[in-house]
Every structure is written in structure tokens, then in C-alpha cells.
Amino acid sequence: MKIKLLGLILIACSIFSCKKDQEVTILEVKELRFCSTVASDNLCSGNTSVFTEGISEIFASVKVSSTPGKQVTFDWYYEGQYLGGETVQTIKVGSETEFWANAFINSNSGPLPAGIYEVDAALEGGNSLTRSFEIR
């Protein structure tokens, strides 16, 4: 019986390529930041959740654990209403498996209205993360 069970385990490992030391990259949105101006790398270096009225542009940056070439879709909401979305490709910043993506919302006709905004950042083949910010 033990030999039969060991044989089944070996067959299963060969079918599913079991490797003890093989690393698995988890596709995950790890962090979502908001800012009114970006740093020289075009990403939010800080994180703000409340903005002052009169602002006309807000940026969102996400940190993802990913593989090269993945895309992040940003969906923007204002007071529960969908404003639009944008899909961007991740860029490498830092380690070999951590990437960033950046998007923004702006108003061409003056400041963004006061209220609660929400951003959903979804990584291709991975999870999504939703956070909100307020303009008051």
C-alpha cells in the first residue's frame, strides 16, 4: 500500500511539475496611493485621503507584486457614479517583482467637485483594491 501511494505522489508531482524550490509570483495589488502632484518618476510619493476644494487633478498610484507587462485598470467613481476608467501597463520600480502603475483624474472645466471619490485598481490576472478619498 505504501509503495502504491508513493507511486501516485510521484506521478502527481511529475504531472503538476512539483518543484521544492520553485518560486511562485502572486499577482497582487499591494498599495493604492493618492496625491495632487507626482514625483520625478511620475508616481505618488506620499499618500493623501483628503484634498482641499479647488483642486483640478488627482493622481492614483498602485504598487503591485507582478510579472513584467501586466496591466492595471483604474475605475474612478464620484458619489457612487462611475466616471470612467483607464488601463495602464505596470512599470518596474525597485525589486524584480514589484511594479507600479499610475493614473489620474482631472477636470478641464475647473476644479473637481467636493465629495467622496473612489478608485478601484484591478491587476490583470490578480486581485483589485478599492480606496476612497474626499475633496472638501
Domain ranges of the chain: 22-135
> Looking at the predicted structure, is the pLDDT value of residue 21 above 70?
no
Place of cell 470612467: 84
Instruction: For residue 107, give the C-alpha cell.
Output: 477636470
Instruction: For residue 93, give the C-alpha cell.
Output: 520600480
- CA gap 131, 62 in Å, rounded: 11
Q: Which one is predicted more confidently, 40 or 11?
A: 40
- Are the C-beta atoms of residues 31 and 63 closer than 8 Å to each other? yes
On whether the 22-135 domain is CATH 2.70.50.30, my answer is: yes
Q: Per residue in 27-69, pLDDT tens?
A: 788 899 999 999 888 889 899 999 999 999 999 999 888 777 7
Q: What is the mean pLDDT of residues 66-76?
A: 86
Which pTM was predicted? 0.76
